[in-house]
Chains A and B, each alone.
Chain A
Amino acid sequence: MFVVGTFYFFAIFLIFSSLSVIFSKNPVNSVLFLILAFLNSTFLFILIGAEFVGIILAIVYIGAVAILFLFVVMMLDIELIDIVFSVKRYIPLAVLFSIVIISEIVYLTVVKTVKGNLVLEPSSVNNTESIGDVLYTKFFIDFQLSGIVLLLAMIGAIVLTHIYKPSIKRQNISHQNSVTRLERVSLRNPKNGEGIDA
């Protein structure tokens, strides 16, 4: 009973906050509602029993991605305007499509269920332990690959946003190594009392 109630509470809150992401005027508010959505889904995961995934969701999504969003939203100069009139054309169609898909899905799951009634059972295994069992053994290569993907993302972000200023002093090792004597040293023969001009 308690499970059902909490589930519905968090589920409705999740849906409400994701709707607010789209329909709020202030983009900062949108990001904040996104954070709320992530939070709710974390709670849902913990309710089910996948607490490791839930906490990871909280750390990564809320702690990194949403902060990133906040940074960008606050850094860029975004105008606060209301929904433009021309969106209203699409709303009826959108409502229609969503009703169609949701009703189909509901029909499929409720009327013609495939795998019977799957119920929630309390499990005796610790979620973190069991994930740790599998992640570094069976899914080791995938784990490493995801690390490489993150490396790529980091490099990509830097490459995209890097501004090259030619006036900044920097080293070009290969260039320095390929210098010849003729470019650097020149012999002069100054007379007494005279200097070298250029």
Chain B
Amino acid sequence: MLLFKLLFFIPLLSTVITYPAGLLINDRASQIISSSLISISAIVSWLCLYNYVNDDLSPFVIDIFSWILISGSYLDWSIAVNPLTLLMLTLVLTVSALVHIYSIEYMSHDKSKNRFMVYLSLFTFCMVSLVVSDNIVQLFFGWEGVGLASYLLIGFWHHKKTANNAAIKAFLVNRIADFGFLIGIALLYIYSDSLSITDIIASKDYLKSIPINFISIETDVLTISCFFLFIGAMGKSAQFGFHTWLPDAMEGPTPVSALIHAATMVTAGVFLTVRFSELIVMSDFILNFILVVGLITAFFAASVALFQKDIKKVIAYSTCSQLGFMFVACGLGAFNVAIFHLITHGYFKALLFLSSGSVIHGVHDEQDMDKMGNLFSKMKITTIVMWIGTLAIIGFPYMSGYYSKDLILNASFNLNEWGSLVYILLAIISAMTAFYSFRLIFKVFHGKYNGNYDYEKIHESNFIMLIPLFILSFGSIFAGYFFNEILSGHSPSDFWGGVIFLSNETHPHSSIYAIFSKSMITFAILLCIYMYALNLEKIANLKKQFSKFYNFLLNKWFFDEFYNKYIVSPFYNSGLILWKKIDQNIIDRLLPNGSALVISKISIFCKKIQTGFIFDYTFVIIAGFTFFISIIFYFAIL
């Protein structure tokens, strides 16, 4: 019991004591304290998982303390112990611990190391409270908390204007999606009269039976509330339409990108969907909606990633695309596969980000891939590690991505009618994934160096930065094989124990389709080798020929420009008009400024009466005298 509680309290402790420790002792101490505390909690999380599986426990809830009094009963701050949360916690805490250790070295030249570690620990704590919560309010607290930590960390270098703008953009887009999330929470609370997740899931039949009319659409409560919950998930996981914040979030330091925007925060959306999986499967419309959104996102992000110039943006779009894959898995009803892919993706995406951070550190803060090349001879370990991550992401046989991606592809046959179309689309997207991943490798590590920095000064990174890379590459290689049997082998329900929905359908692996997908990937790799490793001049010609298409993809389908023109600008302009014209000109001018002006004008007028000549004063005296005589006269008459 105590072990489970430690999971919650150690990140909290780390958040609280890191900053004072940094102030009192020195920055190095804060780094060491926070890294060691989070590492301890990571080890504890693995122990908890081991205990759970070994002792064959069933899901239960530990209450920590009473929080809010709502309609007669207390809302508790609680830890839900079940396979889903424990699994997520291992991923979250492991990656977080590795990022803490990595940033000891990566941020060693920064002057606010202390603040960075505090924010990392704050993020970890909020993510933990999101994952372990048993009631929706605590989940929402964690949700907003990770949004806040993301804002703080993206805008960490707050002297850069672009970083500030990116942080605000991330927070705003999240906020809009959270509005939908709140509507979903409210609907669930009103109709099921409880805030606890287990209770809500238990009342799913009841929720399905209540009809509701939403903007003249007749549905039931379950569909509408799941729709809004998914809107919230879309915002957090940067799905199509809400994705604009994710590439700009690369303004933050690389460890931030690795932790938040690869492995943990963006997976909170998937986690939410899987947590409420029992509810979601009751509505076919929502399942289809999730599937379509995931597909569109995966395709869109992969297409944009094909020609990006910045190394971190390629990996960011890759994350976006892989999240689309996870939502496709959810939409197909294979929630356990989605979690599996989430975990493997967490490892190799964090690996990719951290090794790109090592590359950036090595070429002295240059992020444009056009200015890199032939780094293999200078940074051998980073090259090898990045190759491992890339092979994992494309699903090279027997690496971790292979298991999870193939399971998603096969799960598309859960659909009766469109299954083969979905499979083909997913195969094409996997091919695009392979293309841009290898494009990155070839541009950065092979070919010719054409950067501005002195080539001889490029060096391999410090061993403190390399340790997390080694651990993550170990995870990338073996996590797939390790978790495959447990999560989705022959009897997954032994492990999951009813926490999430498991489809009972099994389909045979259709070999034609498998050959198709493998050949697509191979073709993409060969095309990439042809274009980037061998023939560089032809690329320039092709760029000119297909310049419109190239521009469209490079500028991310002009999404930001579209949003700016049709959504941001009207609000901004109307706000400007309301402020400048109405507030300043009309209201301010009339009421406060106007009354002050009137008083000053009256006083200037009154000042003119004081001419200084006595005869003017006597005139005033006599005028007043006349006035009073008249008053007395009128009173005498009446």
By the criterion CB–CB under 8 Å, are A104 and B633 in contact? yes
* Complex Cα–Cα for A93 and B615 (A): 14
Q: Which of B619, B622, B630 contacts A104 (CB under 8 A)?
A: B630
Given A108-B633, A108-B636, check contact A100 B619 (CB 8 Å): no
A97 near B623: Cβ-Cβ < 8 Å: yes
A:97-115 near B, CB below 8 Å: 97, 100-101, 104, 107-108, 112
A residues within 8 A CB of B626? Answer: 97, 100-101
CB of B637 closer than 8 Å to a CB of A: yes
Closest CB in chain B relative to A30 CB, distance in Å: 16
Q: B637 is contacted by which of A93, A97, A101, A112 (Cβ under 8 Å)? A: A112
User: CB within 8 Å of A: which of B617-638?
Assistant: 619, 622-623, 626, 629-630, 633, 636-637
**Once the chains bind, are A100 and B630 in contact (CB under 8 Å)?**
yes
6 further A-B contacts with Cβ under 8 Å, apart from A97-B626, A100-B626, A104-B629, are A93-B623, A97-B622, A100-B630, A101-B626, A101-B629, A108-B636
Q: How far is the CA of A114 from the CA of B124 in the complex (A)?
A: 101
- Determine if A2 is an interface residue (Cβ-Cβ < 8 Å): no
B residues near A93, Cβ cutoff 8 Å: 619, 623
Say yes or no for A90: interface residue by CB 8 A criterion.
yes
Q: What size tier do the contact residues of chain A reach?
A: under 10
**B630 contact set on A, CB distance < 8 A:** 100, 104
User: How many angstroms between the C-alpha atoms of A116 and B162 in the bound complex?
Assistant: 98
Ordered nearest first, which 3 A-B pairs have the shortest CB separation? A104-B633, A97-B626, A101-B629
Alpha-carbon separation in the docked complex, A107 to B636 (Å): 11
Min CB–CB distance A102 → chain B (angstroms) = 10
Interface of B is mostly: helix
Name 19 interchain pairs, CB-CB below 8 A, sorted by A.
A90-B619, A93-B619, A93-B623, A97-B622, A97-B623, A97-B626, A100-B626, A100-B630, A101-B626, A101-B629, A104-B629, A104-B630, A104-B633, A107-B633, A107-B637, A108-B633, A108-B636, A112-B636, A112-B637
Q: How far is the CA of A191 from the CA of B623 in the complex (A)?
A: 87
Q: Which residues of B contact A100 (CB under 8 A)?
A: 626, 630
> Whole-angstrom distance between the alpha carbons of A117 and B428 in the complex?
126
CA distance A97 to B625 in the complex (A): 10
**Residue numbers in A under 8 Å from B636 (CB-CB):** 108, 112
Closest residue of chain A to B632 (Cβ to Cβ) is A104
What is the chain B residue whose CB lies nearest that of A104? Answer: B633
Mask of A64-105 contacts with B, CB within 8 angstroms, 1/0: 000000000000000000000000001001000100110010
List residues of chain B with CB within 8 A of the CB of A101.
626, 629
A109 to B: closest C-beta gap in Å: 11
Report the separation of the CA atoms of residues A102 and B96 in the bound assembly, to the nearest whole angstrom.
Answer: 101
A90 to B617, CA, bound (A): 13
Measured between alpha carbons, how far is A93 from B622 in the docked complex, in Å? 11
CB distance from A103 to the nearest CB of B (A): 9
Residues of the A chain whose Cβ atoms lie less than 8 Å from the Cβ of B637: 107, 112
A195: shortest Cβ distance to chain B, in Å? 66
B337 to chain A: closest CB distance in Å? Answer: 100
**Could you tell me the distance between the alpha carbons of A104 and B629 in the complex, rounded to whole angstroms?**
8
Q: How far is the CA of A108 from the CA of B632 in the complex (A)?
A: 11
CA distance A99 to B134 in the complex (A): 95
Say how far B34's CB is from chain A's closest CB, in angstroms: 86
State the Cβ distance, B608 to closest chain A Cβ, in Å. 14
Return A152 CB to nearest CB of chain B, in Å. 24
Q: Which residue of A lies closest to B637 (CB)?
A: A112
Task: Name the A residues within 8 Å of B619 (CB-CB).
Answer: 90, 93
Q: State A101–B630 Cα separation when bound (angstroms).
A: 7
Closest to A100 in B: B626
Interface positions of A from 145 to 198, Cβ below 8 Å from B: none
In whole Å, how far is B36's beta carbon from the nearest beta carbon of chain A? Answer: 93
CA distance A175 to B630 in the complex (A): 63
Shortest CB–CB separation between residue B470 and chain A, in angstroms?
101
A100 to B633, CA, bound (A): 11
Contacts of B622 on A, CB cut-off 8 Å? 97
Could you tell me the distance in whole angstroms from the C-beta of B611 to the nearest C-beta in chain A?
11
Q: How far is the CA of A90 from the CA of B615 in the complex (A)?
A: 11
Instruction: Collect the chain A residues with CB atoms within 8 Å of residue B629's CB.
Output: 101, 104
Q: How many whole Å from A151's CB to the nearest CB in chain B? A: 29
Complex: how many Å from CA A149 to CA B559? Answer: 100
Please indicate the chain B residues that have their CB under 8 angstroms from the CB of A97 in the complex. 622-623, 626
**Bound CA span A93–B620, Å:** 11
Shortest CB distance B456–A (Å): 94
B residues in contact with A107, CB < 8 Å: 633, 637
What is the chain B residue whose CB lies nearest that of A98? Answer: B626
Give Cα A97–Cα B633 distance, bound, in whole angstroms: 14
In the complex, what residues of B have CB within 8 A of residue A90's CB? 619
Nearest opposing residue in chain A for B619, CB measure: A90
Residue of A nearest to B623 (CB): A97
A93 to B637, CA, bound (A): 25
Q: Closest approach, in angstroms, between the C-beta of A8 and any C-beta of chain B?
A: 26
Alpha-carbon separation in the docked complex, A97 to B636 (Å): 19
Residues from chain B with a CB closer than 8 A to the CB of A112 are 636-637
- Bound Cα distance from A97 to B621, whole angstroms: 12
Chain B, 132-173, CB within 8 A of any chain A CB: none
User: Hey, which chain A residues are within 8 Å of B623, CB to CB?
Assistant: 93, 97
Closest to A87 in B: B615
Which residues of B (268-286) have their CB < 8 Å from a CB of A?
none
CA–CA, A8 and B619, complex, Å: 30
Give A108 to B629 CA distance when docked, in angstroms. 12
Distance from B81 Cβ to chain A, minimum over Cβ atoms (Å): 97
Question: How far, in whole Å, are A37 and B622 apart by their CA atoms in the complex?
Answer: 23
Q: What mask results when residues 20 to 44 of chain A are scored 1 for a CB within 8 Å of chain B, else 0? A: 0000000000000000000000000
Could you tell me the distance in whole angstroms from the C-beta of A115 to the nearest C-beta in chain B? 14
How many angstroms from the CA of A159 to the CA of B229 in the assembled complex?
100
Q: Mark B502-516, 1 if CB is under 8 A from A, else 0.
A: 000000000000000
Bound CA–CA A90/B636 (angstroms) = 29
CB distance from A91 to the nearest CB of B (A): 11
Nearest CB to that of B616 among chain A residues? A90
Q: How far is the CB of B59 from chain A (nearest CB, A)?
A: 99
Q: Whole-angstrom distance from the CB of A95 to the nearest CB of chain B?
A: 12
